[in-house]
Amino acid sequence: MTVKNQNETATGPLAEGQRWSAARKREVVLRMLRGESVDALSRELNIEIYRLEEWREKALTGIDESLKKRQGDPVQAEL
């Protein structure tokens, strides 16, 4: 078994009983955003297409929400 450091993630299929970590999901979503086929990823990772699309939508929602946050809100500065 290969040991990975905290910043490395493997994106192959999971072993029996393993769960998908946020880091592994992020890597899969990034692969989709880079243009990899959802069908091919589904086959490679042995995971349903609807679940991959759900991860992508959640990731995009998170990006949208983080970009809406203000840095140095003037109202807060006055208080």
What are the tens digits of pLDDT across the range 13-60? Answer: 777 778 899 999 999 999 999 999 999 999 999 999 999 999 999 999
Provide the 10 A C-beta neighbour count for residue 64. Answer: 9
Token code pair at residue 74:
């003037």
Residue 29: domain span: 22-66
Token code pair at residue 29:
């979503």
Looking at the structure of the chain, the number of domains it has is 1
CA dist 78 and 65 (Å) reads: 24
For residue 29, tell me if it sits in a domain.
Answer: yes
For residue 74, tell me if it sits in a domain.
Answer: no
For residue 8, tell me if it sits in a domain.
Answer: no
The DSSP H or E segment spanning 27 is: helix 22-33
CA dist 38 and 48 (Å) reads: 9
Closest CA to 20 of 2, 38, 45: 45
> 10 pLDDT exceeds 80?
no
pTM: 0.69
